[in-house]
A and B are shown apart, each in its own frame.
Chain A
């Protein structure tokens, strides 16, 4: 588990009927000073409006994350039980991953209290201290913790890293695995993913995978997007070039560097192959392109046709507006690159932008 979410302290705070808000237990002891608690207690034992909300407050170089709970019942003195099991981290720590843990813990304790009076019973409340110790130790060490509380209740907690939203996958995008597919355990995945897995080879685009695997286009898209979200394959763009046999000799840095530098705007891979045939005896240009794209060393230029001149009577252009690339147009209309090229070249009203 990374250093980014190190928990410094776990505390259990409640509203004592005579003493008011106090920290009943904290692990390690004496971590939260009297001063600190005084400053932040209004965010820990809160007014009813803030109950069940995840509250993170920063004070005195520390960040406290808690979720105040209030259980109303006549049996409690003052007719309500207020408590809050929270975490303390350094103020610079990124605590997003800890929030679900705090929420879950507050839920668990609420359930325990409602079922068996776990917290209001002084004897069972004491079990909290060793629970908190174990939590602190295990969450910091492995990011996960499984604690049996009593015969019928077990707490399962896991720190999950926040991930960015996945990019939208288009039908002309090409997925490729960055690690060997052999590590993939097929049976762990849903049926759709299993069906398309063997077609993901870094050369077939989504539409082609859909046709060859006989899976509906949208399902393929969603499956790949799902895989992307779990950071498994990476998605590239379409590359059209022929097969080449990889050489035996090991390529030098210079060869590779020259090839990448040779990919000037306007150069097709075919051009590259003819110009640098010597270097390409030692380098597989498919892998070269893939690697370059993945590491953002190179990017592919797309062509965008724009219909600039038209007379008043004709319809406004639908696809030739500069918003749709050749890839997209070919996919949507079923034309090949060559056909589209020929068609557009002969139309004087259409210009093509590369970007």
Chain B
């Protein structure tokens, strides 16, 4: 269930542009270099590295100057890339950081001893961090030493271990380092498998070393320095795969390789995929969010249905296809399960998967009572690319004007104009969906908190009472727990315990004022302090047993953690019922509006 990255042709021009800008910035989520090393009977070898040094003279001159690692690049070393662009002087660009390491030294330090194999390898040298997963190869043709056969064995160069190493900036986020290690490990597993099956790695290594030897002899005779790795690319599929992995990590963050045209290795770098307003959503926050989603949430696809379906591999699960086809911004996950004829558990799993791969986000389903507001991180600039896209998508409308309408919280109902043609309303919905997809809007929900006014005579003591949240325990609303999916730290299976739907409080028997109901109300109110109980019971509305019963029943929601819609869903109540209740008991309730913290990370990244 993985996705195709953009077609290679489309990607090239984009890569060109971003390469020049990203090189300057030293973005911490992208690798500086990918390096393949091996260790065997021929010693430690660097088989391939990418990007290769552009001009060999520059690297040797850099090394010869014996630069202090803390020196700024003030000497005017201007490197030209293939297009003749000279880069501005910046303190040690990414390339210089790794270009200073010769092939031989990299082979020595990255091809580790065998007892470091099978584990994460991490080495930091000044400003560069190398991360990999050195892997032992057990050669199937182990040459048995036979005591009865004294003839000399044929010298077959054998590879004992190899490692795919990513070089990063030393200050890269630990979760990025962890992700790179994961990718290294995945590629290693694939290579190990193919080596056992058909000696794929040995063959590719032989090719790489042969080209390197060839170029070395050529350099010695001609005197013109060349990069052997450039020549390796057209001859070695593995080299091209590694280059593609590097390029993908630098651009889209989605890697999809076919090792030996056979084994698929897929990987995504969440830091690149989940970016809002210049910040990335940390994978742990993403995971926490996905574990907390509820059946009343909805899945909003970030791409059109058609585009998404075309990205799916041929052997993808039919359930995924069904889900994508049935998905809608107005449908919650429970309805989606019914419409797509899938178990809710499965819907949760697929939804989490889509979110993880950056193809969808979680929202509250669109309805006219939803209140939206401009996100503090929204780019409202007149000349932003978003404004242009919006104008193309919705001719005749401009983004800043639309955003201005959401400057202060406004519900969709307020846009309703009975004189307008229905098609206008439909267009409004489309625009809201567009704005949500582009993280321009946040949704505000109503939360309620029980806060009884302190008694007049002992104001100080009141403050010492533990807040309601601490006292009203027990009735925790369970959420789908143990949700793990293709994240770096967990295994690739998705395990999910069933989301609990049993959240409504005890069924109350009909029949208004029965003693049973009265007792139940009393029990529910027992968790309050004497003073609080008195104040509540003195409220005029409390004289109505039904109102009081409803209040008591919903008491555990009044901690400020459950919004109106959640209470509606759990208790199967109407909005108007709840609002009336809140109004009746307003002297002890404080109402506030803010984002749903479970899904707010999709619209507002953490600072």
Instruction: Report A111 CB to chain B, min CB distance, Å.
Output: 16
- Residues B69 and A53 in contact, CB atoms below 8 Å apart: yes
- Residues B122 and A58 in contact, CB atoms below 8 Å apart: yes
- Residues B404 and A306 in contact, CB atoms below 8 Å apart: yes
> Given A264-B593, A306-B400, A54–B126 Cβ distance below 8 Å?
yes
Residue A80 is within 8 A (CB to CB) of chain B in the complex: no
Residue A194 is within 8 A (CB to CB) of chain B in the complex: no
CB contact between A58 and one of B105, B123, B459 (< 8 Å): that residue: B123
Instruction: Give the docked Cα–Cα distance between A47 and B103 (Å).
Output: 13
Residue B96 is within 8 A (CB to CB) of chain A in the complex: no
CB contact between A57 and one of B123, B374, B452, B453 (< 8 Å): that residue: B123
| Residues of chain B with a CB closer than 8 A to A317's CB | 382
CB contact between A322 and one of B69, B101, B380, B591 (< 8 Å): that residue: B380
- Residues A353 and B403 in contact, CB atoms below 8 Å apart: yes
- Residues A55 and B374 in contact, CB atoms below 8 Å apart: no
> Which residue of A has the minimal Cβ distance to B131?
A58
Residue A211 is within 8 A (CB to CB) of chain B in the complex: no
- Residues B453 and A49 in contact, CB atoms below 8 Å apart: no
- Residues B124 and A353 in contact, CB atoms below 8 Å apart: no
Residue B381 is within 8 A (CB to CB) of chain A in the complex: yes
| Tally of contact residues, B, Cβ under 8 A | 52
- Residues A47 and B400 in contact, CB atoms below 8 Å apart: no
Instruction: Give the docked Cα–Cα distance between A286 and B121 (Å).
Output: 54
- Residues A351 and B375 in contact, CB atoms below 8 Å apart: no
| Residues of chain B with a CB closer than 8 A to A307's CB | 382
Residue A268 is within 8 A (CB to CB) of chain B in the complex: no
Instruction: Give the docked Cα–Cα distance between A323 and B383 (Å).
Output: 10
> Which residue of A has the minimal Cβ distance to B100?
A49
Give a binary string over B511-540; 1 marks a CB under 8 Å from any A CB, 0 the rest. 000000000000000000000000000000
Instruction: Give the docked Cα–Cα distance between A313 and B121 (Å).
Output: 63
- Residues B408 and A354 in contact, CB atoms below 8 Å apart: yes
| Tally of contact residues, A, Cβ under 8 A | 43
Instruction: Report B539 CB to chain A, min CB distance, Å.
Output: 15
> Given A59-B116, A266-B408, A49–B105 Cβ distance below 8 Å?
yes
Kindly identify, within residues 221 to 276 of chain A, every residue whose CB is under 8 Å from any CB belonging to chain B. 249-250, 252-254, 257-258, 260-261, 264-266
Instruction: Report A189 CB to chain B, min CB distance, Å.
Output: 28
> Given A59-B116, A257-B451, A265–B373 Cβ distance below 8 Å?
yes
| Residues of chain B with a CB closer than 8 A to A52's CB | 69
- Residues B463 and A252 in contact, CB atoms below 8 Å apart: yes
- Residues A308 and B381 in contact, CB atoms below 8 Å apart: no
> Which residue of B has the minimal Cβ distance to A304?
B380
Kindly identify, within residues 320 to 355 of chain A, every residue whose CB is under 8 Å from any CB belonging to chain B. 321-323, 351-355
Give a binary string over B438-467; 1 marks a CB under 8 Å from any A CB, 0 the rest. 000000000001011110000110110001
Instruction: Give the docked Cα–Cα distance between A322 and B383 (Å).
Output: 9
Residue A3 is within 8 A (CB to CB) of chain B in the complex: no
Give a binary string over B359-385; 1 marks a CB under 8 Å from any A CB, 0 the rest. 000000000000001111011111110
Query: Of the 9-residue stretches A35-43, A121-129, A147-155, A201-209, which lies at the interface with chain B?
Result: A35-43
Residue A50 is within 8 A (CB to CB) of chain B in the complex: yes
| Residues of chain A with a CB closer than 8 A to B460's CB | 250
Kindly identify, within residues 394 to 419 of chain B, every residue whose CB is under 8 Å from any CB belonging to chain A. 398, 400-401, 403-404, 407-409
- Residues B463 and A50 in contact, CB atoms below 8 Å apart: no
Q: List 10 A-B contacts (CB under 8 A).
A: A47-B108, A49-B105, A55-B123, A55-B124, A59-B116, A254-B451, A266-B408, A266-B409, A317-B382, A353-B380
What residues of chain A have their CB less than 8 Å away from a CB belonging to chain B?
A: 35, 38-39, 42-43, 47, 49-50, 52-59, 249-250, 252-254, 257-258, 260-261, 264-266, 296, 299, 304, 306-308, 317, 321-323, 351-355
Known: A322-B382, A354-B374. 6 other contacts (CB 8 A): A57-B123, A58-B120, A250-B459, A261-B592, A265-B408, A323-B380
What residues of chain B have their CB less than 8 Å away from a CB belonging to chain A?
A: 63, 69, 101-102, 105, 108-109, 112-113, 115-116, 120-126, 373-376, 378-384, 398, 400-401, 403-404, 407-409, 449, 451-454, 459-460, 462-463, 467, 590-593, 607
